[in-house]
Chains A and B, each alone.
Chain A
Amino acid sequence: MTQPLAQPARTAPTGRPVLRTPHPTAPQPYRPGLAERLGLPLLSGLMVTMRHFLRNLFHPESRLTIEYPEKRRDYSHRFRGHHILTTRPDGSVRCVACFLCAQACPAECIHIEAGEHPDVNIEKYPVVYEIDMLRCVFCGYCVDACPEEAIIMSNNYDMAYFNREQSIVGKDDLMKPYTFDESLLGYRPRFPEEDAKRARMRRDAFDLVTAAKEAQEREERAAAH
């Protein structure tokens, strides 16, 4: 199905704009016809509104709104949300405090203080690792920069804070959540087979809103049984 890109253009690019020169010196506004002056096309507009009204009334499933926060839009596994610091199998932080993420960050929101690791094979670890979520622009550059896959992102976008101190998220909070729940992971280094798997899942549920509704119904049925 792939075709070469360098197809001959239908009209050879002339390098010339579609221009009638000299430029028009006076605007020529649209002149409404008789029907428009009588307001007849208003009726066809009204038909559109009625069609939408009736369809939404009798086919509630065709509504386009999502009733947040009970239901949520399904985001892809590339979603750039709240950060996660991944851990080693023993539960210690995987980060080796190389400062690449802090260097790559355009918003300068990552603060790291490095310390000597007791294990001689690991050299360094972050004593302090803080991200200022109010400064962060969620560009994902830290994930791209990390050579250890120590920082990844989740698909959590619920970030609300009562004060600025809370918005500076420390190492413990970054390590705690989501780490083991595959479905809540977001942007992370690319793994092609993972991509394909998730795309298959999404393809089955292409209409996202309907899929969400169906999933909820399934849950409700399961709960009833």
Chain B
Amino acid sequence: MSTLAPPPEIGPETATDPAASGAADLAAVAGKFPAGSITVEAATDQATWIVRRDVLFDLARELRDNPATQYDMMLDLCGVDYLDGGPDRAERFEAVYHLLSLPRNTRLRLKVPLTADDAVVPSLIPVWKAADWFERELWDMFGIRVEGHPNLRRLLCHEAFQGHPLRKDYDPARRWILTEDKIYKPHFNLPPQEDNRQDDLFERMTINIGPSHPAMHGTFRLMAVIDGETIVASDVEIGYLHRCFEKMSETHTWSQVIPYTDRLNYCSSFINNVGYCKTVEKLLGIEAPPRAVWARTILSEFSRIMDHCVCNGTTLVDSGGLTNFWYLFQPREEIYGLLEACCGARLTVSYGRIGGLAQDLPPDFMERSRRLLEIIPPFVDDSEKLVNRNRIWLDRSVGIAAISGAEAVNWGWTGPCLRASGVGYDVRRAHPYDLYDTVDWEVPVLFGGDVYDRFRIRMLEIRQSLSIIRQLLDRGMPEGPYIVDDPHVALPPKEACYTQMEAMIYHFKLIMDGIQVPPGETYQMVEGANGELGFYVISDGSGKPYRIKVRPPCFPIFSTFSRLINGGALSDAIVSLGGLNVIAGELER
């Protein structure tokens, strides 16, 4: 029987100071590599090493296996093109790896500089399986070849695409037409069937599910070889919803990116706003005022509830439990009402602003939130009563698409799916931000790692989120401004703008030139509804981002999909897809 994890141990402070943890890591591994192959870069937010390419693979393996470092998860791989990076930079490209050590709770950033005519990195798939899709994306977007990758083809762009879109010399308006003859056709290397099954009746069949299929949540294409009802081999094709978020960000000002972030995980768009705004605030060195932080925490939790409701509701629809959909969608409808009263939109809220919020909270925010706390639990209870111990649902979900905690970590999983596999990593607890370290809440952990536990963990998290919100509401709404009082960051109030010349000038400057973010780079993460949502942002001091890399939580999760469904029944594949909570907007950016 799965149980809740015991409350966290209160141990000594782990090395959360990046300089200290970086020095400790270096001391542990430096002796094994030639001098000069690792250079420590002075970065403020994370320990950062510049690594020579020839030692990268061995260093990665060492960092994972050395008991003093234990970097068991590769979070992200980001390419950067410094085409006009100045005379001091000899190499045009850089591959940036973000690593996370779960047992030590430290982070490390590895940068591998690459010259334009020799842009090759070794594949890290033998070390972290999560590298698979990230490396394909690197090749697709930057043309950095990955040596030793078993399947190095385009991931987000289509087959007829020419050039590499995130290179700085690629024109953002350039388009390519995909013709039918270029559409990707998979070739599965399968063992031959047994002799007695050469009959036509037992022939294996290759089927396509999607890209537009009601069972696929979003536009994914699943190609599967099936033998009867069993999936023998499968391949997933994504990129149908690729909107070049990262390229478009480079052509917009910092604040204009916010509506784009809404469309990442559109089921909980406010969390994306918060993540992005916090990243830019970190670069700017400012902090949102207490009122905004309070509202961000509450609305993030409401967004999380909404997202979990959608995910669980649709999972149950996929397995035939249609009634749950209605019970679970009503809380979402009510939460949309609250968000709409705050910012004027239900789905794509654009409510966060760099330095605070777009507008003040509505005067009846407290009452509405309290009312929501009353409305939501009965619906969640009803849904749990319907399915939690329901034999039909248990048969469909227990043990389906199961993955162990160690394997999930290696694949780069985060969020509820990882916590359902017995690894209690939650950004809100591990790296507390906003007000999460001032409230009393628990990280639910289950050990099944299957569809059923992914469903249950979301229900448990909804209750934790409600408890967080209740505590914050009891604390009272902090008085004060809802956005920083800095005319270089936040638009001046409209009244001042109409009457004062100075405010008017600031207003014009902010709209025309945008926020001037000092040069630098940073990585900031928040706990998105389906895992660690990270933004790796590089500024060159102009009014526009130089590079924004989103670390989408469902990207590594979905890259595991083939591994999860191979060998299972076709109908189980559909149920397991729902439980992963893959959101195409975020997956493909």
Contact = CB atoms under 8 A, between A and B. Distances in A.
B270 interface: no
Interface in B188-207: none
Contacts of B429: 17-18
Given A5-B294, A48-B386, A206-B371, A21 B404 contact: no
B478 interface: yes
Contact of B102 (A21, A25, A78): A21
Contacts of B340: 75-76, 78-79
Interface size for chain B: under 10, 10 to 19, 20 to 34, or 35 or more residues? 35 or more
B260 interface: yes
B327 to A, nearest CB: 8
A7 B475 contact: yes
B421 A24 contact: yes
A22 B405 CA distance: 9
B252 A106 contact: yes
Most chain B beta-carbon contacts within 10 A, residue among A6, A28, A41, A190: A28
A164 to B, nearest CB: 18
A138 B349 CA distance: 9
A8 B256 CA distance: 37
A155 to B, nearest CB: 9
Residue of B333, B439, B475 contacting most chain A CB atoms (<10 Å): B475
Interface stretch (B159-167, B174-182, B356-364, B565-573): B356-364
B476 A1 contact: yes
Given A13-B437, A17-B430, A27 B259 contact: no
A199 interface: yes
B344 A78 contact: yes
Contacts of A31: 1
Contact of B10 (A1, A12, A27): A12
A153 B571 CA distance: 47
A18 B398 contact: no
Contacts of B252: 106
A61 B535 CA distance: 47
A30 B394 contact: yes
Contacts of B16: 15
B9 interface: yes
Nearest to B477: A2
Contact of A19 (B103, B442, B452): B103
Interface in B462-490: 475-479
A15 B14 contact: yes
B389 A13 contact: no
B345 A26 contact: no
Interface stretch (B138-146, B216-224, B505-513): B505-513
Contacts of A38: 391
Contacts of B24: none
Contact of B8 (A11, A103, A106): A11
B511 A103 contact: yes
A120 interface: no
Contacts of B14: 14-16
Contacts of A208: 337
A25 B404 contact: yes
Given A24-B447, A78-B359, A147-B497, A41 B391 contact: yes
A103 B512 contact: yes
A190 B360 contact: yes
A34 B426 CA distance: 34
A2 B478 CA distance: 6
Nearest to B431: A15
Interface in B316-338: 323, 330, 333, 337
Contacts of A14: 8-11, 13-14
A40 B115 CA distance: 66
Interface residues of A, number: 77
Interface of B is mostly: loop
Nearest to A203: B364
B507 A27 contact: no
Given A76-B341, A140-B344, A144-B491, A106 B402 contact: no
Contacts of B105: 15-17
Interface in A22-78: 22-32, 35-39, 41-42, 44-45, 47-49, 52, 64, 73, 75-76, 78
A57 to B, nearest CB: 16
Contacts of B478: 2, 5
A132 interface: no
B314 interface: no
Nearest to A13: B437
A103 B479 CA distance: 33
Contacts of B128: none
Contacts of B68: none
A16 B8 contact: yes
Contact of A36 (B2, B345, B389, B504): B389
A128 B390 CA distance: 63
Contacts of A159: none
Contacts of A126: none
Contacts of A153: 344
A27 B448 contact: yes
Contacts of A45: 385-387, 390
B231 interface: no
A26 B404 contact: yes
A107 B348 CA distance: 14
B354 to A, nearest CB: 13
Nearest to A45: B386
A196 interface: yes
B438 A7 contact: yes
B440 interface: yes
A41 B426 CA distance: 32
B406 A22 contact: yes
B431 A28 contact: no
A147 B498 CA distance: 7
24 contacts: A1-B476, A5-B438, A14-B10, A17-B102, A17-B426, A18-B8, A19-B423, A20-B5, A23-B404, A25-B404, A28-B448, A30-B2, A30-B394, A35-B389, A41-B389, A44-B385, A48-B385, A64-B330, A79-B344, A103-B512, A106-B256, A140-B344, A141-B259, A195-B360
Given A14-B8, A14-B13, A24-B406, 7 more contacts: A14-B10, A15-B105, A25-B407, A27-B421, A30-B2, A38-B391, A100-B508
Interface of A: 1-3, 5-32, 35-39, 41-42, 44-45, 47-49, 52, 64, 73, 75-76, 78-80, 100, 103-104, 106-107, 137-141, 144-145, 147, 149, 153, 186-187, 189-190, 195-196, 199, 202-203, 206, 208
When A and B form their complex, which 7 residue pairs have the shortest distance between CB atoms, in order from nearest? A27-B449, A18-B424, A41-B389, A78-B344, A23-B405, A13-B437, A24-B422
